[in-house]
Structure 1
């Protein structure tokens, strides 16, 4: 690390990345090197507090120590980050906020690539890690193709992607490195200013017991090509000591607000330039509400920053906008009903009472700053809350443009043990039976199938074909191949456009290889998991989906509300009598009965006609038919 620090000091001494610096500043060079090697790897004080960690040293403590020799160390670093990463130096995609995470990531990635110093960025899901690499990749295209003057002075990047998964092998990672090294040598021989960089995404997924990443040791020591890894947890000491490690702390309240402004398409200086303080108060309230949801013990810990970001994106593109004299468009307000719809799409997957409490947390947080922000101010006759099947159906019907802007793939959390939710989705027409539109993938739990990698590759190849043709895929019990599809689930797409033609590509790990796959704009993915398996789902996977909790009881209650008042009373009486009957004799004497049995029977009593009108079956007729059919049997067997 000490040698690496001196190498970086030498780099900052010789490189003037800002035209304001006419002469090298030794204090600046030393401070930036110490920041990359030591400062950025530590969590912030607020991050420690959020995680109830009071033992790990913080950035603030290190800055205090270093400030004894380098006055205002933390301020020097912050000033340099702001000078380095801004819209003058980099093309930042629309809707991306230039917050602290983006600045630290882009700064670290650029320095790492130019100096060929291995880098690992560690952080929770939704912290803009992969996005930052994509921004650097789009900007560093050499002196001829780079759009910004600053980037024209930096070498172009030739990326070699490697997607980590449970099935990653040492020899496959080594193969990617060897290809990159060979290409780098060709560039050097031809005096082409291009850096080859091996990008290992989802570096936490390869099996630690197999020591897959041990193969990195010689490549990290030699530093023949640049290396950038993205992970959700730290590497082992042997690998971590060979790299710069950047720890992404959880965003502070101020950072969350900057993030919200960016996702809503507003400039961070908006509050200073615009007299509309009402919108600013609502945004701050939304950020406060999100923090309170994360800390609330009654709300399941299944939500992450990516859910928050996609909620803001939906708000941005579904709200009315205004155009200024500079031809800039921006939203002018956020309505309570619009916030509710965005929360229904992105903060679901929990029980109804929990979701209503989540809504109340957001609304009360906003009302503290904007007292008139309330659902009660909306039209009272409007039905505020949509039921889960309706939310899911509306989301599946989004056009390709809206899906690309704020839509995500779907995660169905099934309360039953027998895939009842999936069957009901087909019966209600939310999912289409047509095999030309949807393909269903099921994987068995037989031991021969679990260890059959060839079978996994066959399924992935078929899924790849569905992606290319725009079919919807339904994945049931497919957790063994989820790691191979993380880039797809994350909708981490590359877009190639020529004239009116537009193609979307992403990466899939089929077996040990990572390949590019064309993605049709109509492609959709639905993943089914059982409720009892939900607690074992890793956070990076969970954060990539819109989540929906479904049960037979939910479907029954929804259809019950659509019956006439008289028919509702009849079914409520039936339910009450059956529950009393079961309680009297004891549930243990009803073989095979579970929480869904009763409501499955009651649901079968409700019929839908061709006009989608709901009514009860004619129970007397069914009873009569039953007695007629059984009459001869009873007479023969008195």
Structure 2
């Protein structure tokens, strides 16, 4: 998120065919008496599977282009740090290629390479942004959008970002990972606030909770409430109400509904979404809410040896993703780590608009790459496990997403959450046990939350059918805010739902005790 790619793109745009005359005129006006030839860039996408032969082949092709006197050629090695991790050791070819190069070379990496390679190049590290950098960037985007964004609002966004990044309690650093939040989250928050021009909408905390989500422990919630209350001058009650309104489930829904920005043809409203699943099954509650549905394309990775070590499976998955990009479908990816690095430009929304008005991005296919068309309605969501997302060694591509942690415990509306303790107490008394796992097969801490959510959704859908209500376009989720249960109804519905899970010996024991109680009366 330090604008490495953006910096290079500005340079390539300035030295392009259509702008080279303007540059030469500026040089002449400033008494630099020489002409600069336009720059042609040949890109190579680094991956963990690339090979030296592919680099050498494209290098030779770039050198052939440089034989003409019309253009200057540049070999761009994108994500060179990923290529260094390849078992084929592809970067060893650079030792000889960079010794006496006939063409220009630029490499982009998120971390340092070994000294033997770096000594053959000029290293240009990009420092982190300070407050002045943040202010200039925010005002530039605001002016471009013709937004009535107040200076105080921009300052508030920057102060929230600074306090989160400089927090000393580790509330925003899961397992000590100081890179969980970064500059990309700040950029996305600024764009979100500016895109929604209505001042009343900007007073909402949606933007903050969507771009600084993905955590759920109590320290995180406490520190986030404290920061928002101090910087935005809100009361404790106002912040808590907003937190309950913008649950992770609601944030995921809003992300998948947003497509592109109205005031800029090149600016997307929101990033792609990372769904962090607390348990391997937690993300499936989005199916119950109908946020994820069968109109979307689901792609799952495989642990079969022939699939894991064969490029054919990866190519098939990439082709399906490219088809979704072309047709504007929403694609859900799960356990496809082997191909994520081939989709860096897509995940980063690094789209290039052609003169035709269509958007394209680069997709790496093995040792080659191709430009693929991007439909304006295309959206991508990636499902990962909590332990992977919160790992200190989280993959680089994680930084590109709007992150939300999904669990049954944080998905219940506040009006349904009120029934959790009473339902637990009722079950303990009904089955005369001290621990519910002793009574139900497969019972875990999410079981009761899942059961209450299921019953609430069923009751809300039944009410909607009776009233012939149509779903509103602004929200696809079932409205659970008005659902209520009385004590007898809740007991009856829960027992009907959980009785099939009850252990046989517990059913017999419970029935015997009920009979004894009856005859004693």
TM-score by shorter chain over 0.5: yes
Match of 1:348 in 2: 213
1:313 to partner: Cα distance: 1.3
Mapped contact 2:248–2:405 kept (Cα < 8 A): yes
Matched, 1:139 2:31: no
Match of 2:471 in 1: none
**SS of structure 1 residue aligned to 2:73:** strand
**SS of structure 1 residue aligned to 2:172:** coil
Mapped contact 1:160–1:180 kept (Cα < 8 A): yes
1:404 to partner: Cα distance: 3.5
1:588 and 1:225 mapped to 2: Cα distance?
A: 71
| Cα gap change, 1:385 to 1:602, in 2 (>3 Å) | closer
1:526-605 matched pairs, under 5 angstroms: 526-536=381-391, 538=394, 540-555=396-411, 557-558=412-413, 561=415, 568-569=418-419, 571-578=420-427, 584=434, 592-605=442-455
| Cα gap change, 1:313 to 1:595, in 2 (>3 Å) | same
1:456-535 matched pairs, under 5 angstroms: 456-498=314-356, 502-535=357-390
Match of 1:297 in 2: 170
1:223-622 matched pairs, under 5 angstroms: 223-265=101-143, 278=152, 281-282=155-156, 285-286=159-160, 288-293=162-167, 295-300=168-173, 301=178, 302-320=180-198, 337-338=203-204, 340-351=205-216, 353-363=218-228, 366=231, 373-374=233-234, 385-401=245-261, 404-417=267-280, 419-421=281-283, 423-434=284-295, 438-498=296-356, 502-536=357-391, 538=394, 540-555=396-411, 557-558=412-413, 561=415, 568-569=418-419, 571-578=420-427, 584=434, 592-606=442-456, 607=458, 608-610=460-462, 611=464, 612=478, 614=483, 620=492
1:364 and 1:381 mapped to 2: Cα distance?
A: 12
1:51-90 matched pairs, under 5 angstroms: none
1:476 to partner: Cα distance: 1.0
Mapped contact 2:229–2:236 kept (Cα < 8 A): no
| Cα gap change, 1:585 to 1:493, in 2 (>3 Å) | closer
| Cα gap change, 1:147 to 1:503, in 2 (>3 Å) | farther
1:590 and 1:378 mapped to 2: Cα distance?
A: 40
1:605 to partner: Cα distance: 3.1
| Cα gap change, 1:553 to 1:424, in 2 (>3 Å) | same
The C-alpha deviation readout for 1:464-503, integer Å capped at 9, x for no partner, is: 11111111111011111111111110011110133xxx21
1:602 and 1:335 mapped to 2: Cα distance?
A: 32
**SS of structure 2 residue aligned to 1:246:** coil
Match of 1:178 in 2: 60
1:582 and 1:482 mapped to 2: Cα distance?
A: 50
| Cα gap change, 1:582 to 1:247, in 2 (>3 Å) | farther
2:448 and 2:350 mapped to 1: Cα distance?
A: 43
- TM-score (ref. length: structure 1): 0.64
1:307 and 1:561 mapped to 2: Cα distance?
A: 31
1:143 to partner: Cα distance: 7.6
**SS of structure 2 residue aligned to 1:549:** strand
Unaligned runs of 5+ residues in structure 1 are: 1-125, 268-275, 321-332, 368-372
Mapped contact 1:461–1:510 kept (Cα < 8 A): no
Match of 2:82 in 1: 205
Unaligned runs of 5+ residues in structure 2 are: 29-34, 465-477, 513-521
1:413 and 1:381 mapped to 2: Cα distance?
A: 23
1:544 to partner: Cα distance: 0.4
| Cα gap change, 1:379 to 1:346, in 2 (>3 Å) | closer
**SS of structure 1 residue aligned to 2:354:** strand
Matched, 1:150 2:26: yes
1:231 and 1:505 mapped to 2: Cα distance?
A: 22
1:199 and 1:491 mapped to 2: Cα distance?
A: 19
1:263 to partner: Cα distance: 4.0
| Cα gap change, 1:225 to 1:447, in 2 (>3 Å) | same
Mapped contact 1:507–1:517 kept (Cα < 8 A): yes
**SS of structure 2 residue aligned to 1:255:** helix
1:513 to partner: Cα distance: 1.1
Mapped contact 1:263–1:309 kept (Cα < 8 A): no
1:222 to partner: Cα distance: 2.1
**SS of structure 2 residue aligned to 1:228:** strand
Match of 2:99 in 1: 221
1:378 to partner: Cα distance: 7.5
**SS of structure 2 residue aligned to 1:604:** helix
- TM-score (ref. length: structure 2): 0.78
**SS of structure 2 residue aligned to 1:605:** helix
